[in-house]
Structure 1
Amino acid sequence: MDKKKSSVPLVCHGHSRPVVDLFYSPITPDGFFLISASKDSSPMLRNGETGDWIGTFGGHKGAVWSCCLDTNALRAASASADFSAKLWDALTGDELHSFEHKHIVRACGFSEDTHLLLTGGFEKILRIFDLNRPDAPPTVVDNSPGSIRTVAWLHSDQTILSSCTDIGGVRLWDVRSGKIVQTLETKAPVTSAEVSQDGRYITTADGSTIKFWDANHFGLVKSYNMPCNVESASLEPKLGNKFVAGGEDMWVHIFDFHTGEEIGCNKGHHGPVHCVRFSPGGESYASGSEDGTIRIWQTGPALNGENETNPGNGPFSVKAKTVADEIGRKMEDLDVGKDRDKEKLTDV
């Protein structure tokens, strides 16, 4: 990519408050999908390629800090400041279950086999819910050294990764014993931790540093200082030759993985960039910002002109077409302004 040129993104509107988390599904027979979490309490599902709105999950009463899709993009999950994590039918938008917590839930993640949901938050507790028995008590790992910011699964669901809001480092937990087996040391709290698609690397962002760790042996592979404080980073999933990072300067930076050289810089957001993620095929990456928009940038040549997606009016994916009427009936009339008396939770 020519460093002097920047891509023209697809701009996805719809959220009324900052976008704080993004998650791409794997590629499915119906394409791939993008889910976003926002402080407006309403996670949104989109076509991952075009950015077109598919539906909004309505039911949370506080900021939604984290969201994810299962391997087949059939179910979604979200973690919220309303002290709950919710499980959703990604085809219809129906709420399948609400997992109640005793404090703000900051992170959630489906296991690779899709049978388990992992959550973490202000309680300093990791919970593992069996989705085949959603009413059963969860497995609890309760000795996190701090409030939990991020979670992820690795090693075929045998290991859990977590980082904390207020202290540095990434903890690797053995699921069977519930014990920490390794800590990846960082100077600042880790705000983003991503396991690469091939399971080879863990990408972390802490302060103004991006680090890449060996996901099997836990050694530090590369560490790069960034031009500003960054909140999120993502490694290109196919070739692994570049990564993107976003943070307080409102720009999305592209770097060479092998050298750390900046090879591109995309401008367009009007607030700090809270999250960046590569699509599963590596042909594009998405960024979510304090400005309430999602921007999808092409990895290859720039598009001919900026394209602003219109929630509900763009071309739907095959999956969306089959349920468009149902989604419209159940989700289109969502009042994101309701229960604003509980908004004191949203900026915690």
Structure 2
Amino acid sequence: MDKKKVAVPLVCHGHSRPVVDLFYSPITPDGFFLISASKDSTPMLRNGETGDWIGTFEGHKGAVWSCCLDKNALRAASASADFSAKLWDALTGDVLHSFDHKHIVRACSFSEDTHFLLTGGFEKILRIFDLNRPDAPPREIEHSPGSVRTAAWLHSDQTILSSCSDSGGVRLWDVRSGKMVRTLETKSSVTSAEVSKDGRYITTADGSSVKFWDSNHFGLVKSYEMPCNVESASLEPKFGDKFIAGGEDMWIRLFDFNTGEEIGCNKGHHGPVHCVRFSPGGESYASGSEDGTIRIWQTGPSNPKEKESSVPNGPSKPITVDEIGTKLEDVKVGRE
């Protein structure tokens, strides 16, 4: 059992209600940052390494369900139950724009090139807002089979993936045509969907299962059953050799990616864990809970032999945008 003992985490207080989403920025010249979404309506920005509070974004009038930072950590976005998504200046905390919706907004995500903001929610519509023309009407992708729970960009902004609150599966949408081209089937609704740092894997949590999908060929790579229902999972970004999962039993577990063996287990939260995310360098990970706190845990030293060996996130021949287009066209033909 000694191998499962981990150092005491950094505990980040400040939210007065449950923390439901976390997002790390990439590493910038000023370090990296962590933004949190909470039902208390105020997203918070922190130093990603130390957990120190930097600022609070004030302006929402309802629970904030999702938050994100652009790749330069200069702008933030949030999705709220007040029927809006907001774009923020991450340096000053000012609202740059508020995008009105007709129902609760559950998900938001910046495109890789930072020019667009993707939103989704109870309206069952994915919207793409042009941040260079924030007052222009958004592009709308309809026909989601249910309320949108998660949304993310894939394939250098050529594809969108989304999951629903009330049905299983992850849906892939071709941005150019606005049509759904693929469904990754799951038994339960997907509560967490993360694209790996190198773009090779999609990590999903559904029910008591964590799954890893090949994001280029859409096949299921790994599927592991967890000890409880999990709400969130995240793949270590640097070596891709481990992953974390958290859920209803309040524990954050660390697993070996290749075998599914549990290699660490951390307890400290006093309520279900709603979100877990690895820092961009993989040296630590954060968890957000029903108890209103964020905890930052150290990953611990990796085995040098593991680093030298072939790992699933290692170098591989990158797939081109043209190849992706061809694959999606093939999928479309197969569906008709």
Structure-2 separation of matches of 1:215 and 1:10:
33
User: Does the residue aligned with 2:176 lie in a helix, a strand or coil?
Assistant: coil
Alignment of 1:123-142 (within 5 A): 123-142=123-142
The one-letter code of the counterpart of 2:19 is V
The alpha carbon displacement at 1:142 in A equals 1.0
**CA contact under 8 A between 2:4 and 2:266: conserved in structure 1?**
no
Residue 212 (structure 1) aligned with residue 177 (structure 2): no
Structure-1 separation of matches of 2:48 and 2:61:
26
Alignment of 1:175-324 (within 5 A): 175-300=175-300
Alignment of 1:60-71 (within 5 A): 60-71=60-71
The alpha carbon displacement at 1:8 in A equals 1.2
Alignment of 1:66-85 (within 5 A): 66-85=66-85
The alpha carbon displacement at 1:164 in A equals 0.1
The alpha carbon displacement at 1:2 in A equals 5.4
**CA contact under 8 A between 1:122 and 1:147: conserved in structure 2?**
yes
Determine the structure 2 residue equivalent to 1:333: none
Structure-1 separation of matches of 2:230 and 2:255:
13
Please, what TM-score do these two structures have when normalized by structure 1? Answer: 0.86
Determine the structure 2 residue equivalent to 1:29: 29
Structure-2 separation of matches of 1:199 and 1:226:
24
Report Cα offsets for 1:39-76 as digits up to 9, x if no partner: 00000000000000000000000000000000100000
Unaligned runs of 5+ in 1: 302-348
Determine the structure 2 residue equivalent to 1:322: none
Report Cα offsets for 1:56-112 as digits up to 9, x if no partner: 000000000000000100000000000000000000000000000000000000000
Determine the structure 1 residue equivalent to 2:170: 170
The alpha carbon displacement at 1:300 in A equals 1.1
Structure-2 separation of matches of 1:75 and 1:60:
16
**CA contact under 8 A between 1:3 and 1:262: conserved in structure 2?**
no
Please, what TM-score do these two structures have when normalized by structure 2? Answer: 0.89
The alpha carbon displacement at 1:4 in A equals 3.1
The alpha carbon displacement at 1:6 in A equals 2.0
User: Does the residue aligned with 1:3 lie in a helix, a strand or coil?
Assistant: helix
Structure-2 separation of matches of 1:64 and 1:105:
8
The one-letter code of the counterpart of 1:90 is A
The one-letter code of the counterpart of 2:281 is G
User: Does the residue aligned with 1:198 lie in a helix, a strand or coil?
Assistant: coil
How many residue pairs end up in the alignment? 301
**CA contact under 8 A between 1:287 and 1:294: conserved in structure 2?**
yes
Unaligned runs of 5+ in 2: 302-336
The one-letter code of the counterpart of 1:62 is G
User: Does the residue aligned with 2:42 lie in a helix, a strand or coil?
Assistant: coil
CA RMSD of aligned residues (A): 0.9
Determine the structure 2 residue equivalent to 1:88: 88
Determine the structure 2 residue equivalent to 1:310: none
User: Does the residue aligned with 1:118 lie in a helix, a strand or coil?
Assistant: strand
**CA contact under 8 A between 1:168 and 1:189: conserved in structure 2?**
yes
Residue 159 (structure 1) aligned with residue 159 (structure 2): yes
User: Does the residue aligned with 2:71 lie in a helix, a strand or coil?
Assistant: coil
Q: Report % sequence identity.
A: 89
Structure-2 separation of matches of 1:143 and 1:177:
13
The one-letter code of the counterpart of 1:132 is N
Report Cα offsets for 1:89-140 as digits up to 9, x if no partner: 0000000000000000000000000000000000000000000000000000
Structure-2 separation of matches of 1:153 and 1:78:
16
User: Does the residue aligned with 2:31 lie in a helix, a strand or coil?
Assistant: coil
Structure-1 separation of matches of 2:146 and 2:5:
42
Cα distance change on mapping 1:140 and 1:237 into 2, 3 Å:
same
Structure-2 separation of matches of 1:34 and 1:148:
24
The alpha carbon displacement at 1:7 in A equals 2.8
**CA contact under 8 A between 1:2 and 1:263: conserved in structure 2?**
no
